[in-house]
Amino acid sequence: MHVEAGQVHGFLGPNGSGKTTTLRTLLGLIRPDGGRMAILGHEVPGTLDQVAPQVGAIVESPQFFPHFTARDTLSLLAGAGDLPERRVDEVLELVGLRDRAGERVKTYSLGMKQRLAVASALLKNPRLLILDEPANGLDPGGIREMRTLMRNLSEAGMTVVLSSHILGEIQLICDSVTIISLGRRVAFGPVDEVLAQHSSGAVRARLEAVTDLPAAATALTRAGVRVTTNDDHLMLAGVDKPATVTRLLAEQGLYVSELAPIAVDLESVFLELTATAPVPGQHRQVDQSVRVDGAEPSVPAGGGWGA
């Protein structure tokens, strides 16, 4: 996993795939059993104490001492980090908790705790921000604010690593992604590249007359195109240039009314790469996802949620 400075990087994986474990290990909370890690050029965990002042992080659900106010909580963290007290007000303002800062954390909703967690991570004005599920519990407005905040921080030069299951958000705000499954990387790179790599190249073709579909399918198959015939359209695979389809069919006197490349989104790529797409009638277990060491995912069995 490699994160370029100044980027917003999405870190994705199914439940139990090891995202939080990876982040905890990176932050020195879990002892690694091998491998190499570096943050901002410093090998960790060996030099973590040198790099920690430049790393802001929230790991998993936000946890705070419930009887302290948000201001006390941040003030104590600022004290531990030798930061000026005014920084507390700045981050409270930034995450929208200014007016509720004097209330005890135990009275906060999950979304407010999440905002406080983000505030605690931002307190150091870090060069690297690691956020594990920052949108948990946020209302739609909060999610949009968080998205804007991440963008602004990134534009200001902060590197952001974001772990989330809200893939639409990741696709919107991340420059690059790493997708893991059962502790192993299955995809990595800029979002556009990952999407392009896993784009099927499929094209959907409709004809002016539905009755022409069989003839069109025959002509395209003869030309080497893989065709799947549906009731009102054809799905074409292995098409380099959509223009060849129109020319080929026109030569046969068949006229195309729609020719649309099938776009993939991060969610479908994620589901494909991790093999975690729901299968009707089956209950997938949490560890049933793709292994990159070659082993096939185990066949879903009965049981699971609601079983």
Partner 1 sequence: MSLFRTELRRLAKRRFARWMTAGGLLVLVLVAVGMFLSNQKIGPDQFAEARQAADRQHQEQVRWAEQERANCERAKTAGEDVDYYPADCADITAPPRESIEEQWFLPSTFNFRESFGEMLIPLAAILAMVGFVVGASFVGAEWNTGGMMNLLLWRPKRLTVLLTKLGALLTGLLALALPATAAWFGSMWLVANWRGTTEGMTSGTWQSFLITGLRGIVLALVAATLGFALASLGRHTAMALGGAIAVMVVGQVGLGILLSMAQVRFAEAWLLPTYVYAWMTKSLTLEDWQACNATYTGECNPATLDITWQHSSVLFTVGIVLFLGAALWAMRRRDIT
Residues lying near partner 1 in the complex (CB under 8 A): 24, 27-31, 45, 48-49, 52-53, 55, 57, 59, 62-68, 72, 76-77, 79-82, 120, 124
Neighbours of 6 (CB within 10 A): 15
What are 162's two structure tokens?
């974001």
Nearer to partner 1, 28 or 134 (CB): 28
Q: At its nearest, how many Å lie between partner 1 and the CB of residue 28? A: 5
Nearer to partner 1, 31 or 36 (CB): 31
Nearer to partner 1, 71 or 284 (CB): 71
Which amino acid belongs to residue 60?
A: E
CA distance 168 to 182: 22
Neighbours of 271 (CB within 10 A): 16
Nearer to partner 1, 82 or 99 (CB): 82
Pairing of strands 234-237, 203-207: antiparallel
Q: At its nearest, how many Å lie between partner 1 and the CB of residue 94? A: 18
Nearer to partner 1, 123 or 191 (CB): 123
Nearer to partner 1, 81 or 303 (CB): 81
Q: At its nearest, how many Å lie between partner 1 and the CB of residue 113? A: 11
Which residue matches tokens 């909370």?
A: 29
Pairing of strands 226-229, 184-190: unpaired
Q: At its nearest, how many Å lie between partner 1 and the CB of residue 75? A: 8
Nearer to partner 1, 52 or 266 (CB): 52
What are 267's two structure tokens?
């969610």
Q: At its nearest, how many Å lie between partner 1 and the CB of residue 77? A: 6
Q: At its nearest, how many Å lie between partner 1 and the CB of residue 293? A: 24
Q: At its nearest, how many Å lie between partner 1 and the CB of residue 1? A: 19
